[in-house]
Amino acid sequence: MKICIDEKKCQGSGECVKVCPHGALQIFNGKAVVNHENCDLDGLCIPACPHDAIHFIDEA
């Protein structure tokens, strides 16, 4: 499982970056980007996104 950013929905507000205690998210070219090495999958960023652009996905 991993965190995925829907680039079509992401508006680059940075709310996800503010709540991530691990520094796994940053805004790059106006969109949120996940550094999966730092992400511990706590999901705090999901409800923080005002545009519903962050979700868990299964890695198949």
Instruction: Give 57: exposed, middle or buried? Use CB within 10 Å, 0-12, 13-18, 19+.
Output: exposed
Residue 29 CA to residue 11 CA, distance in Å, equals 10
Note if the pTM is more than 0.75: yes
pLDDT tens per residue across span 4-47: 999 999 999 999 999 999 999 999 999 999 999 999 999 999 99
CA distance 47 to 21: 14
Q: What is the pLDDT of residue 59?
A: 78
Q: Are 30 and 13 in contact (CB under 8 A)?
A: no
- CATH number corresponding to 2-57: 3.30.70.20
**pLDDT > 90? residue 60:** no
